[in-house]
Chain A
Amino acid sequence: MVWYRLAGQEFHFFGPVLEAAPFEITNMEEGVAGEAVPFVSASLPLNNLISCTEGWVANAKRRVETWLAPSGFLVRTEGGSDFTISQDGREIRCASQRQGEGKLDETDRQILLGPVIVLALALRGAWSLHSSAAINKDGMTVFLGESGQGKSSLAGYLANETGWRLVADDILPVTMGAESVLAWPHFPQLKLPVDAQPGLGLPEQLPISKVCVLSEADADEMPAFERLPASQAIQTYLGHTAGTRLFTPDLLGKHLAFCSQAAERVPVYRLAYPHRWEALPIVKDLLEKTC
């Protein structure tokens, strides 16, 4: 068994996971492992289907089901192995490994670090924003937006500018802090190489200063910021949290409560700009002026 510390939470996996290697706990004391989840075979009768959805997982559109299982949950993904998650989200096991103990193929690794870990984090009160993020001396900005709206391009541009650093470029787990929303950047960003994870070297948790929803403006328009009212801010959080279609009713309620609080605590802006390279320095200036 291997321990990882992802998004500030310790996870006990059945074997090594390549993409999570930078976050492995190498000095875990023996005897601290929690109670293991009973092995659940694929043939075990499952009591209750919680959710069934289709999503983009491991480079393909796949059906993903969440079932209530003994001692927790089972995530079944089309074309991949079943995974069990303990009720507290701490223990994750592969229920039907296809390649022997401790070895997962790439599809299963992406399932594990996709829907499975997102659900496990949610069970522990951490929500996974589908986002990119960058930080400067004034704080961290999280970029949300539909695919193709420039999240990666903008964060990547900022990361190469003086005074800025990349924080995330895919999934950013967040929790509610005492005064603000906290981001937990120690989390595998599957779009980036294992040896270039932006969370490495950053604090384990960082307060979020602002959130920007990206949208494309006409080519002749200037980049512009617009603060969103709370009702739109909450919709923004709701719409950009990964894995909500896997959630139990209880989790959905907790997630709504989180989004409501987050909308009150962190300003959310719509950032519209033409998607061309020349606009990015202006966007950077705008971001630096909007503290």
Chain B
Amino acid sequence: MLTLDDNLLIPASVSFTFVDEDAVLLNMQTNQYYLLDEVGARLWGLLRDGKSLRESYQTLLEEYEVDSGQLEQDVLDLLEKLKEQGLVEIVQA
């Protein structure tokens, strides 16, 4: 199970682009594309910029009117799916 204290890495095999407020991710190993909506794209951008998962979560909490517990659950659910698809990796500390 992921937690907000895990360290995440975007693998070199993942290419991505931002389009308007969304993001399109490509796993170049599987040739599969994924679309992230506005909030997911913002999270991806924060991770791309080197923010930790907890820092990214805090930023989202400040930017969106959302319950903190719900946001944590949504962020971890999304990242769990991204991890399953090889779009992020957990880095062991």
**Interface of A toward B, CB cutoff 8 Å:** 51, 229-231, 233-235, 238, 244-245, 247, 249-250, 252-253, 256-257, 259-260, 263-264
A263 to B22, CA, bound (A): 13
A235 touches B24 (CB 8 A): yes
21 contacts between A and B (CB under 8 A): A230-B19, A231-B35, A235-B24, A235-B33, A238-B33, A247-B31, A249-B29, A250-B28, A253-B15, A253-B26, A253-B28, A256-B15, A256-B16, A256-B17, A256-B26, A256-B33, A259-B17, A259-B24, A260-B17, A260-B18, A263-B19
Chain B interface residues (CB < 8 Å from chain A): 13, 15-20, 22, 24, 26, 28-29, 31, 33, 35
Contact assessment for B22 and A231 in the assembled complex, using a CB-CB cutoff below 8 Å: yes
> Which chain A positions have C-beta within 8 A of B33?
235, 238, 256
Q: Are B24 and A249 in contact (CB under 8 A)?
A: no
Q: Are B19 and A252 in contact (CB under 8 A)?
A: no
Nearest chain A CB to B63 CB, angstrom units? 20
A256 and B31 contact, CB distance less than 8 A: no
Of B19, B22, B28, the residue contacting A249 (CB under 8 A) is B28
Contacts of A234 in B (CB 8 A): 17, 19, 24
A245 to chain B: which residues have CB within 8 Å?
31
Question: Are B35 and A252 closer than 8 Å at their CB atoms?
Answer: no
A interface majority secondary structure? helix
- By a CB distance below 8 angstroms, the chain A residues around B29 are 249
Partner of B13, one of A233, A249, A260: A249
**Which residues of A have CB within 8 Å of B28?**
249-250, 252-253
Closest chain B CB from A27 CB (angstroms): 41
**Are B24 and A231 in contact, CB atoms less than 8 angstroms apart?**
yes
Closest to B36 in A: A231
Report the minimal beta-carbon distance from B11 to chain A, rounded to whole angstroms.
11
Which residues of chain B are within 8 angstroms of A231 by Cβ–Cβ distance?
Answer: 19-20, 22, 24, 35
For A244, what are the chain B residues with a Cβ–Cβ distance below 8 Å? 31
Bound-state CA distance A259–B18 (Å) is: 11
A291 to chain B, nearest CB (A): 23
Contact assessment for B19 and A51 in the assembled complex, using a CB-CB cutoff below 8 Å: no
CA distance A246 to B28 in the complex (A): 12
Closest 7 CB pairs of A and B: A249-B28, A260-B17, A231-B22, A253-B15, A230-B19, A230-B20, A252-B28
Given A231-B22, A249-B13, A264-B19, 19 extra CB contacts under 8 A: A51-B31, A230-B19, A231-B20, A231-B24, A234-B17, A235-B24, A235-B35, A245-B31, A249-B28, A252-B26, A253-B26, A253-B28, A256-B24, A256-B33, A259-B24, A260-B18, A260-B19, A260-B24, A263-B19
Please give, as numbers and ranges, the residues of chain A lying within 8 Å of B16 by CB-CB distance. Answer: 256
Query: Which residues of B have CB within 8 Å of A235?
Result: 24, 33, 35
- Chain B residue at smallest Cβ distance from A238: B33
Docked CA distance A51–B26 (Å): 16
